[in-house]
Chain A
Amino acid sequence: MNSEPMSGPAPSPSGVGAAPRPDDLPEPDAKPAPATSRFLWFGAYALVVLLTALRAPQAYAHVSDRVPSELSEGIDDADMQSLALRSAVLIGVIVTAFTVAVYFVLAAMLEKKVFTARKTLRGRASFGLFFLIMVLCFVPTQAAGLAFDVVPRESLYYYAYILAVAIAAPWVFRGVWKGLPARKIAILFTASIAMASLTGIG
């Protein structure tokens, strides 16, 4: 890997970027496609938000059962309490959608700056490590919460699963990093665990 960074013709001494680039060299900044195809990002985001919205009735029932009695005595109108709780659940769904968007943006940036490897699927679609972590952390947990009517974050299994994803996901890309120095591999796993943990707290 000792290729000279400047293997083309040397720029003319007078500078000012006058050196013409030979046509057969690839443009240095010509479309290095992102690791994860855009439609996969948007599709996964839509799926996570849909699952969150579908769980809203469950969240409403969950908080309705837990309104402290001293608070509900202060609200002597059941309809107003229902309005407040429904608005709170709606805001919860919206803030969740916002948070997931921020995590996806972070993950996409990590795939551009830290670990750009990809797995190519059928056709031209491909995905990177941090997309895999986001999907595995959000989709099965939300789907399980919906299917079994449970709140994943109240279960220890949820956190065990998140940690398992964080440690297992980089192995899908082992071929890319196995020759790298230990320090880089450590950074990769740290980023992986950090992104997975983020999904667990938000």
Chain B
Amino acid sequence: MAGLPKDRASLAAALASLAVFTAGATVGYIALADVELFARATAESEPAMSPWAILGQNLGAILFMFSGAVTFGLTTLVGLAMLSAYVGATMAVGIGNVGLARLVSDTGMYAPIEFLGCLVAAAAGLYPAFTVIGAVFADRERPQLLHSYLNSLYGSLKIFALAAALIVSAAAIEAIVLAIR
């Protein structure tokens, strides 16, 4: 991907997103790891969402992840923690009910791309905050904080565009998979 920011702030933002996502997914998974209560509910297959509804929901999720660009990262961090706990809990219930193999064969084509899209969007939301932090701790006497913040918004938008592309591709794959099945 040409044009994406390749500085330390973008690397830090990506690593922070990954760390929060991993922590949240682990917490959600552990909380519901040995639950069998949902077995009956999922046995009757619930009506599937339309691909457009899924796309809309996921676009909403990545917009939430991106919102940290104007809140110094706070809404990204909180939203990512909630989202990843939900993902972890859903995985726990899915694995508990249909098993890992079935879950992977059902969702393995698109779910990882969706998760990656959310991670990239979260990195976009954290990037301006990390840029400002980098400017504060740089060896310069008068850091131009507002200037570096405004500059970083452009880079942040490019990262977000990558996230949106991932989410749209995942939705297209999901629509094809559901149509074939």
Chain A interface residues (CB < 8 Å from chain B): 29, 31-34, 38, 41, 77, 79, 82-83, 86-87, 90-91, 94-95, 97-98, 101-102, 105, 108-109, 112
Contact = CB atoms under 8 A, between A and B. Distances in A.
B32 A79 contact: yes
A91 B31 contact: no
Given A87-B28, A91-B82, A31 B37 contact: no
Nearest to B84: A90
B128 interface: no
7 contacts: A86-B28, A86-B85, A87-B24, A91-B78, A94-B23, A105-B132, A109-B136
B77 A83 contact: no
Interface stretch (B42-50, B55-63, B137-145): B137-145
Nearest to A102: B72
B89 A83 contact: yes
What 6 A-B pairs are tightest by C-beta distance, nearest first? A83-B31, A87-B85, A86-B31, A90-B27, A32-B141, A91-B81
B117 to A, nearest CB: 21
B15 interface: no
Interface of B: 20, 23-24, 27-28, 30-32, 35, 37, 72-74, 77-78, 81-82, 85, 89, 132-133, 136-137, 139-143
A1 to B, nearest CB: 20
B85 A34 contact: no
B64 to A, nearest CB: 14
Nearest to B143: A112
A94 B77 contact: yes
